[in-house]
Amino acid sequence: CYCHCECYSKPKGFFYVCIIYLLAIKVGCSVPAARKTGTTICGVVFKDGVVLGADTRATEGMIVADKNCSKIHYISPNIYCCGAGTAADTEMTTQLISSNLELHSLSTGRLPRVATANRMLKQMLFRYQGYIGAALVLGGVDCNGPHLYSIYPHGSTDKLPYVTMGSGSLAAMAVFEDRYKPDMEEDAAKQLVRDAIAAGIFNDLGSGSNIDLCVITKSKVNYIRPHDEANKKGVRTGDYKYKRGTTGVLTKAVTPIDLELLEESVQTMDTS
Amino acid sequence: MLEEAAPEWLSEEVKTGTTIIGIEYDGGVVLGSDSRVSAGETVVNRVMNKLSPLHDKIYCALSGSAADAQTMAEIVNYQLDVHSIEIGEDPQVRSAATLVRNISYKYREELSAHLIVAGWDRRNGGQVFATMKGLLTRQPFAVGGSGSSYVYGFVDAEYRRGMSKQECQQFVVNTLSLAMNRDGSSGGVAYIVTIDEHGTEEKVILGNQLPTFFDQ
């Protein structure tokens, strides 16, 4: 609860979270928004495989909750999935299908196919009638070649040579529609995906920070995180600290306090 | 867009907007559809093939909610596979349409998709069935989707009994072209599927090859 009201004095804990939430709404405080991944994600099929790309910003309402989150999730050794929408939903959905797919792959004795992952994901999302807010870009290479699918929260899917999802999808799609060609080389495809994500990062408020890439081919998977640090934090050039002696000291009295050191632990702050 | 960073398509359901049409002739059927899939105001797929195979010689045309329509088509595809193994021969078009109708009717409050089922079987030749909201009716031709409203006048005036295969295909292409011009939710390319005794023929007609009318 991000507001100053009497709900602070109530005992906290898992059971009371719902009650505090409802109280907060009644009192009129703004309740914490679910962490969404705002996001620009995209994928492209090239000559030897697929390239998946994603930005790395996770938002909670209008605040950036995570400046470097990973949106490209592992499904199987040859299949990866980018997720947009509610971060928890994409995380849990991809993990569940990844687990089921591994069991399925052990049962069949074969490398899993992208179409199988697509069916499992769409059937689960349809069952929940859109309440699981997961919009996914699924890509991989299997015995039938490279495949790319986009999967929507209500359970519909599209199989296309290039797809974009997320709040920055329109910016990224503009780049794809301009420069996509069939059967590109790996470097051209990586550059195209990088540029599409960059368009999303710089023109959409919900996307930002770095660009992650995942290149999947028949022989190997190249998970490049980060591929491009497009928004590196600058180094401060000046300092507002005053030198010792700027203010004159009239009197000084020192009182030592005897303390016994029981335990020392260091926790670094994330200043990236 | 300072007040809302979440895109509308995350809350808006993906619809296939659509214009779909099925018409029978002596010896087969012709099915046609546009290719636009929209979520709110955004086009999310401009080349979707809405003519989905249910069996070798039975196709269905999807319209309405994309998730509902795709799921219905996949379930009926599976059920028809089982059914055709059970009877040991190719299923009738009426059976396929009945399976679609059973799902549409049972879940009519939850689903919002309309499928037009068309195909060829040995017993009754080419047949077109409409299955909206759980009804099952065989018609000489059927139109569906948001774009169909704009072409009811055209199809009613132009349809004649006893058209040949080529005339049917031209009729379908003309109807799709007119609807795509007037309906915002229809567009892209036109997909045509012709099913007869000898097989199934799929064709794509790109945007610039579609017939033009007086205002173009």
A44 to chain B, closest Cα gap in Å: 14
CA distance A151 to A129: 13
Q: Do B5 and A59 touch (CB under 8 A)?
A: yes
At residue B85, the 3 state secondary structure works out as helix
Cross-chain Cβ contact B13/A130 below 8 Å: yes
| Residue in B closest to A154 by C-alpha | B67
Q: What is the pLDDT of residues A168-202, one digit of tens each?
A: 999 999 999 999 999 999 999 999 999 999 999 99
Whether the pLDDT of residue A69 is over 70: the answer is yes
Q: In the predicted model, is pLDDT for residue A45 greater than 60?
A: yes
Query: A56, exposed or middle or buried, with CB in 10 Å at 0-12, 13-18, 19+?
Result: buried
Query: Are the Cβ atoms of B71 and A38 closer than 8 angstroms?
Result: no
Q: Report the pLDDT value the prediction gives residue B10, as an integer from 0 to 100.
A: 57
B3, B14, B189, best to mutate vs chain A, most A CBs in 10 Å = B14
Q: Which pLDDT band, with edges at 50, 70 and 90, does A60 fall under?
A: confident
pLDDT of residue B17: 81
pLDDT of amino acid A272: 64
Q: What confidence tier does A5 reach under pLDDT thresholds 50, 70, 90? A: very low
Average pLDDT over every residue of A201-205: 92
- Residue among A130, A167, A170 whose CB faces B5 most closely: A167
Rounded to two decimals, the ipTM of the complex is: 0.86
Q: Between the CA of residue B23 and those of A61, B119, B131, B186, what are the distances in Å?
A: 51, 10, 15, 19
Answer whether A146's CB lies under 8 Å from A216's CB.
Answer: yes
Give the CA diameter of chain B: 62
Quote the minimal CA–CA distance from B11 to chain A in Å. Answer: 9
pLDDT of residue A38: 78
Task: Flag whether pLDDT at A18 surpasses 70.
Answer: no
Query: B93: Cβ–Cβ under 8 A, 6 or more apart, which residues?
Result: B58, B117, B118, B119, B120, B121, B124, B127, B129
Q: B37 and B66 in contact (C-beta within 8 Å)?
A: yes
- DSSP lists the bridge partners of residue B30 as B23, B194
CA-based R_g, chain A, Å: 24
**Owner of token pair 């199809």:** B155
Tokens of residue B93, six digits: 């078009």
Is B6 within 8 Å of chain A by CB? yes
Nearest to A164 by CA among A177, A145, A182: A177
Which among B1, B10, B14 is the nearest to A156, CB-wise? B14
Confidence of residue A4 (pLDDT cuts 50, 70, 90): very low
**B71–A126 CB contact, under 8 Å:** yes
Q: Both tokens of residue B56?
A: 């070798």
Contact predicate A165/A41, CB 8 Å: yes
For the entire predicted model, the pTM comes to 0.82
3-state secondary structure B16-73: CCCCEEEEEECCEEEEEECCCEEECCEEEECCCCCEEEEECCEEEEEEEEHHHHHHHH
Say if CB A124 and CB A97 are below 8 A apart: yes
Classify each residue of B159-171 as buried b or exposed e, where b means 16 or more C-beta atoms within 10 Å of its C-beta. eeeebebeebbeb
Per the CB < 8 Å rule, is A154 touching B7? no
Which span out of A57-61, A114-118, A236-240 was modeled with the highest average pLDDT?
A114-118
Query: Does A122 contact B44 at a Cβ distance shorter than 8 Å?
Result: no
Q: Which residues of A touch B13 (CB under 8 A)?
A: 130, 154
SS3 of A73-100: the string is EEEECCEEEEEEEEHHHHHHHHHHHHHH
pLDDT mean by block of 10 residues, chain B; 216 residues:
49 76 96 93 92 96 94 97 96 96 95 95 95 93 94 95 95 96 93 96 94 82
pLDDT tens for A110-145 read: 999 999 999 999 999 999 999 999 999 999 999 999
A52 touches A216 (CB < 8 A): yes
- Give the mean pLDDT of chain A: 87
CA distance A131 to chain B (A): 10
The DSSP secondary structure of B132-185, one letter per residue, reads GGG--EEESEEEESGGGGGTHHHHHHH--TT--HHHHHHHHHHHHHHHHHH-TT
Could you tell me if B14 lies within 8 Å of chain A, comparing CB atoms?
Answer: yes
pLDDT band at A34 (very low <50, low <70, confident <90, very high): low
User: Which pLDDT belongs to residue B214?
Assistant: 82
Active site residue B18: yes
| Contact list, B5 vs chain A (CB under 8 Å) | 36, 38, 59, 62, 167, 204-206
Q: What is the model's pLDDT at position A169?
A: 93
Structure tokens at A16: 């009371």
SS3 A109: coil
Helix (H) or strand (E) holding B114: strand B113-121
Q: What pLDDT score was predicted for residue A234? A: 86
Instruction: Determine contact: B109 vs chain A, CB below 8 A.
Output: no
d(CA B119, CA B59): 6
Nearest chain A Cα distance for residue B69, angstroms: 8
Instruction: Look at B45 and A166 and tell me if their CB atoms are within 8 Å.
Output: no
SS3 A27: helix
pLDDT tops 90 at residue A107: yes
Q: Say yes or no: B112 contacts chain A, CB-CB below 8 A.
A: no
* Closest by Cβ to A156, choosing from B6, B47, B70: B70
- The SS3 of residue A171 is helix
The distance of A163 to chain B (nearest Cα, Å) reads 9
Q: A150 to chain B nearest CA, in Å?
A: 10
pLDDT of residue B2: 42
Distance CA A105, CA A85 (A): 28
Contact flag B14-A206 (C-beta cutoff 8 Å): no
Structural domains in chain A? 36-229 (3.60.20.10)
Residue from B16, B18, B131, B200 carrying the catalytic annotation: B18
Check B71 against A206: CB less than 8 A apart: no
B1, B37, B65 ranked by CB distance to A154: nearest: B65
* A·B CB contacts under 8 A: 67
Q: Going along chain A, which residue ranges are E strands?
A: 41-45, 49-55, 58-60, 63-66, 72-76, 79-85, 134-142, 145-151, 157-159, 162-165, 211-217, 221-228
